[in-house]
Structure formats: C-alpha cells, structure tokens
Amino acid sequence: MVQFQEVYPRVLSLALPLPFELESVNVFLVALDTGYLLIDCGMQTKPAFETLEGAMEQRGIEWRDIRQIVLTHMHPDHMGLAARLVELTGAELAMHQAEAEHLRLVTGGNRRIPWLEEAYLQSGVPAPLETKMEEHFAEIRQNFHDLAPTRLFVGGEKLETALGPLEVIWTSGHSPGHICLYSRERKLLFSGDQILEKITPNIAWHPGRDMLAEFLESLALLDSLDIELIVPSHGGPFSGHRAWIRETIGHHRERCDQMIGLLAQSPRTAHQMVGEMWRRQLSPINHHFAIFEVLAHLEHLKRQGKVHPSADHGAIMWRA
Ligand SMILES: [Zn+2]
Ligand SMILES: [Zn+2]
C-alpha cells in the first residue's frame, strides 16, 4: 500500500497513481495549527481516490481535518479530484486568479482550450492524428470541473502553517496561473510542475503571449530565492535549483537554435518540426505537448525577429 512519507517535518507527501506515462503525482499535507493544508488533489480516478483514502486512514487523518486546499495549477493530474475533495472536507479552496480564469475558459468551452483546433490547424496536424489526440484527451478532460475557489491569489500572499508562512510565488509558463509555495525561513519550495528533477516542464502556448518568456522570467525569479530543498509534484525532493535553472535555460536556448537551423534549411510547419526534433514515435498525448512546445518556441523567436510565419492553406509555414 502506498503511504504518506514525511518529506520534511510536518509535511506529508503521497504519490497518487496516474493513468499515463508520468506514473504518479505528489499531493502534500502541510500541518496547520489545527488540521492540514492539502496541496493539489490528484487525478479523478478510482485508484487515486482509494490511495488517498487508504493513506489518510492509515495515518488517522479524517477528511474534515483538511481545512484548506491549494491547487498549484489546473492540469488534470493536479485538480481532477478537487471538486470531490472540497465536498468531502468542506475545506476552503484557493488557486491563482489567472489559473481560475483559464479553468473557466476550458470548462466553458466543452472542456477544451478554446484555441486548440486553431492551433492544430495552424500547425498542419494531419486529420487522422488530430482524431487520435482527441480520443486520448476525451477521458482526461473529464477531470476538468467548474470550481468555485473561495480564495484567488495574485502572488505574494502568505499562508500561515505550522512550518511558518508559505509564500505564494506566481510562476507562469507551464500554465498561466501556476504557483509555487515557498518557505523563506526554511528555504523550502513546493515547486509544482515548475521545477521537476528529470523532466523539462512543458510550456503551454497561448495565442498572443510569449509563454516561453514568461516561463524564463519565472525561473529568474526562483533563481533569486534561497532554496535548500525543492519538493516537486512529480518525483522525490532534491536540491540545487540554480543548477537546474541554468540547465533548463540552456535546454531552451538549444531548442531555439535547433529550430532556427531547421528552418534555415527549409520552411516547415510546426507539425513537421515535431517530426524533426523528436526522432521517435510520440504517443498522441506527447505529440500534443510537442506541438504546443514548438509553438511556444516559434512565438518566442518570432518576437525576436528570428523566424517568420507565412500562411499556406490554413497551415503556417515558418522560415528563418
Ligand atoms: Zn502540469
Ligand atoms: Zn503535473
């Protein structure tokens, strides 16, 4: 049986199962003066719920002991169970206001990002692949629920816990209203999906926004903080945020150079770029992320005048 692990005094971590390649997502119980703060909720699946229920029982923690729920962001693996847990616990629910807005857009539009179709069309995604991606997402989308947060963050708020105050740090890029929680006293960072030890977080492309720049800016902000322990949403705690940030910035710089190189050879659509950059068969869900990743980089390079789009029957051809 999966049990809570004490990853830090007064912080319990539990790895909840996920039905895709990324095997688990961590949720955390942080002790309050009375009760607990729950960070993230896991996916809305029977195994995830039963794992959480079993682990709480084993520790003698009741649903009503959870007084606050904070979502780092609205991705299905982090928010799927939120509606159910709010109901069971009666806890106050908080998230960043930009994330609540983004969630409203998605739930209001048949649980899809409103610009999804346009993004696939512009990228030149072939229809059969689009159908495959749609099939894969159909079930995952059931995790999006209308939530009514009792508290909306803008960043900078302090949450009182038994560890001392946890500061809300707004880190846009992976998602528009992603947040990290930071204990300045303890040099401890709950990094959500912003910093993951062995994975480069996916950048969410949004039309009209340079999400890669927003991600890099949020890394600069985290770089300025004193952090001894990073507690991420996927994988175990680790240290060395500055080295990780340096490496990740280098990775995006390389990606940008690689893309300019490819486009200098010949103009390509975003979909064709994915084929060149990931020289292996991607699962439909990873293909979707790869397309958005490429779009985010193209937008970033376009703003620097390094690549240029031109329309070709709906699909956009990019040239260096
Ligand atoms: Zn995420
Ligand atoms: Zn995640």
- CA within 13 Å, CB half, 50: 4
Can you give the pLDDT at residue 110? Answer: 77
Distance 115 CA to ligand 2 centre (A): 21
How far is it between the farthest Cα atoms of the chain?
Answer: 62
Exposed, middle or buried, 179 (CB in 10 Å: 0-12/13-18/19+)?
A: buried
Q: Would you place residue 318 in the very low, low, confident or very high pLDDT band (cuts 50, 70, 90)?
A: very high
What is the amino acid identity at position 240? Answer: G
CA distance 75 to 303: 27
Q: What does the pLDDT average to over 5-16?
A: 98
C-alpha dihedral (35, 5, 73, 62), degrees to nearest 10: -30
CA distance 164 to 157: 13
Ligand closest in space to the Cα of 204: 1
Distance 98 CA to ligand 1 centre (A): 15
CA distance 145 to 279: 36
Can you give the pLDDT at residue 46? Answer: 96
Ligand closest in space to the Cα of 233: 2
CA distance 267 to 172: 30
* Contact between residue 165 and residue 196 where contact means Cβ atoms under 8 Å apart: no
CA distance 27 to 18: 12
Exposed, middle or buried, 240 (CB in 10 Å: 0-12/13-18/19+)?
A: middle
Q: Give 153-178 pLDDT, tens digit per residue.
A: 999 999 999 999 999 999 999 999 99
Q: Would you place residue 1 in the very low, low, confident or very high pLDDT band (cuts 50, 70, 90)?
A: confident
Q: Give 31-47 pLDDT, tens digit per residue.
A: 999 999 999 999 999 99
Share of the chain above pLDDT 70, in %: 100
**Least confident segment among 116-125, 182-191, 240-249:** 116-125
Distance 24 CA to ligand 2 centre (A): 9
Q: Give 215-227 pLDDT, tens digit per residue.
A: 999 999 999 999 9
Ligand closest in space to the Cα of 78: 2
Distance 72 CA to ligand 1 centre (A): 9
Q: Give 117-150 pLDDT, tens digit per residue.
A: 889 999 999 999 988 888 888 888 888 888 999 9
Can you give the pLDDT at residue 92? Answer: 97
Can you give the pLDDT at residue 98? Answer: 97
State the residue for tokens 């979502």: 71
Helices vs strands, H then E, count in the chain: 10, 14
Neighbours of ion ligand 2 (CB under 5 A): 77, 193
User: How confident is the prediction for the chain on average, in pLDDT?
Assistant: 94
Q: Looking at per-residue confidence, does 25 or 114 come out higher?
A: 25
Q: What does the pLDDT average to over 10-21?
A: 92
Measuring CA to CA, which residue among 208, 207, 219 is closest to residue 172?
219
Q: Give 64-90 pLDDT, tens digit per residue.
A: 999 999 999 999 999 999 999 999 999
Which contiguous run of DSSP H or E holds residue 169?
Answer: strand 164-170
Measuring CA to CA, which residue among 180, 171, 287, 267 is closest to residue 219?
171
Q: Give 262-273 pLDDT, tens digit per residue.
A: 999 999 999 999
Measuring CA to CA, which residue among 7, 30, 5 is closest to residue 16?
5
CA distance 9 to 309: 52
CA distance 113 to 132: 17
- Give the single-character DSSP code of 238: B
Distance 78 CA to ligand 2 centre (A): 6
